[in-house]
Amino acid sequence: MDRRSAIRNAGIAGVLATGIAPAVHAQAAIRWRVASSFPKSLDTIYGAAEVFAAQVKAMSGGKFEVTVHAAGELMPAFGVVDGVQQGTVEAAHTAPYYFFGKNECFALGCAIPFGLNSRQMTAWMFEGNGLKLMREFYAKYNIISFPGGNTGTQMGGWYRKEIKTLAD
């Protein structure tokens, strides 16, 4: 399975898990705006959100339409969590570690340098109560999180200054 299929399937499973899909047929059309932290030029990551939106529309017979907006179109790339919290948009497509400054726990919901690989992260999320713990954490921010893919282990690290020598 390629990365796009995995991301798409995880997103579809997330929508189905919420119970939204059956309710769509009994309601008027629903339109959600998704603010992404990613530019359109990142076609694999941003494109996954577009594939997700197309699948939601197809599965709902057009009664649930998700429009994805690239970073900066509706709000700054790093303002998408605030946008969801404030009700400016219905959803965000982002990497949680971008919000490390709000709370360090945001970093635990995605790939971090020297962290879990994709299999370990998936096992932790779905077999080790990671998703339950992350949802309890996100509830403090009035947000529900759905895993939407996995990019694998981050290369390198995050440092305060450039590493040039062993002494650094």
CATH classification of 1-94 is 3.40.190.170, yes or no?
yes
Tens-digit pLDDT profile for residues 12-22: 555 555 555 55
Q: What is the pLDDT of residues 111-140, one digit of tens each?
A: 888 889 999 999 999 999 999 999 999 999
Residue 45: band (very low, low, confident or very high) from pLDDT cuts 50, 70, 90? very high
- Interatomic CA distance for residues 40 and 154, integer angstroms: 21
Amino acid 138 reads Y
pLDDT tens figures, 53-99: 999 999 999 999 999 999 999 999 999 999 999 999 999 999 999 99
14: part of which helix (H) or strand (E)? helix 3-17
In what order do the strands lie in the sheet containing 30-36? 64-69, 30-36, 91-93
Q: What is the mean pLDDT of the chain?
A: 87
CA–CA gap between residue 50 and residue 42 (Å, rounded): 12
What is the band of 150 on the pLDDT scale with cuts at 50, 70, 90?
A: confident
Q: Name the residue with higher pLDDT: 16 or 152.
A: 152
pTM: 0.74
Q: Assess contact for 92 and 133: CB atoms under 8 A.
A: no
pLDDT at 86: 95
Domains of the chain, residue spans: 1-94, 96-144
Q: What is the reported pLDDT for 153? A: 79
